[in-house]
């Protein structure tokens, strides 16, 4: 009987340790035209260790009708850092339009809505870039923002 208690305690301890593994990279949620998708980063770098990982297969895909917006929701890990939204459109004739970029630095904004400029414009790509501010010398005057993670949504016309 004593042996079975020891085995049970060890087994429970194994589950507890397995549950303590580091969480994966943050996901961004995209919502458009009645559909939602959670997307992992296609690229992610740890500034402290200098280790980067690429995952091009993480690109999200959603079907969206022309003129429809794409709503973006980011988790706390992204909202509390500077992040940038880049949106690529085509007009009603399928001609690429200038990129729209917005940089979010408020550190408390968790959502963004990308809206096409005209009712027949089609969003084709939405990307979220997370930044970290670093200084190579330790002097805050030479600090610069570097992209540490990137999420991508490819829009398919519906």
Segment 113-140, tens digit of pLDDT:
999 999 999 999 999 999 988 878 888 8
Structural domain contains residue 128 = yes
Reference 91, options 51, 115, 62, 119; nearest CA is 119
Please give the tally of structural domains in the chain: 1
Q: For residue 43, what is the enclosing H or E element?
A: strand 43-46
Is 149 part of a structural domain of the chain?
yes
Is residue 9 in some structural domain? no
Q: What are phi and psi of 95, to 5 degrees?
A: -85, 130
Please, which pLDDT band fits residue 150 given cuts at 50, 70 and 90? very high
**Structural domain contains residue 19:** no
In a domain, 146, yes or no: yes
What is the per-residue pLDDT for 6?
A: 31
DSSP symbol at 38: E
| 142-152 average pLDDT score | 90
Query: What was the pLDDT predicted at 24?
Result: 62
Q: What is the C-alpha to C-alpha distance for residues 89 and 66, in angstroms, rounded to an integer?
A: 10
pTM of the model: 0.81
Domain contains 1: no
Q: Is 75 domain-assigned?
A: yes
Cα–Cα distances (Å) from 26 to 17, 42, 118, 130, in that order, read: 21, 11, 32, 11
Q: Please name every residue paired with 126 in a beta bridge, in sequence order, or none if there are none.
A: 87, 153
Tokens for 109, please give them. Answer: 């904004």
CATH code for the domain of 87: 2.60.40
Greater pLDDT, 139 or 17: 139
Please indicate, yes or no, if residue 116 is contained in any of the structural domains.
yes
Percent of the chain with pLDDT over 70: 85
Q: What's the whole-number average pLDDT of the chain? A: 86
Look up the domain containing 111 and give its range: 28-157
């Amino acid at each position: 009987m004593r042996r079975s208690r020891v085995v049970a305690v060890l087994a429970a301890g194994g589950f507890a340790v397995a549950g303590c593994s580091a969480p994966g990279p943050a996901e961004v949620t995209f919502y458009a035209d009645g559909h939602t998708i959670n997307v992992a980063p296609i690229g992610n770098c740890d500034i402290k260790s200098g280790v980067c990982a690429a995952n091009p297969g993480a690109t999200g895909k959603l079907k969206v009708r022309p003129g429809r917006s794409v709503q973006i929701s980011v988790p706390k890990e992204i909202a509390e850092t500077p992040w940038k939204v880049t949106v690529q459109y085509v007009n009603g004739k399928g001609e690429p339009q200038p990129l729209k970029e917005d940089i979010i630095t408020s550190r408390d904004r968790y959502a963004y809505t990308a809206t096409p400029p005209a009712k027949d414009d089609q969003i084709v790509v939405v990307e979220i870039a997370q930044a970290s501010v670093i200084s190579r010398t330790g002097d805050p005057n030479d600090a610069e923002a570097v992209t540490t993670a990137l999420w991508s949504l490819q829009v398919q016309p519906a």
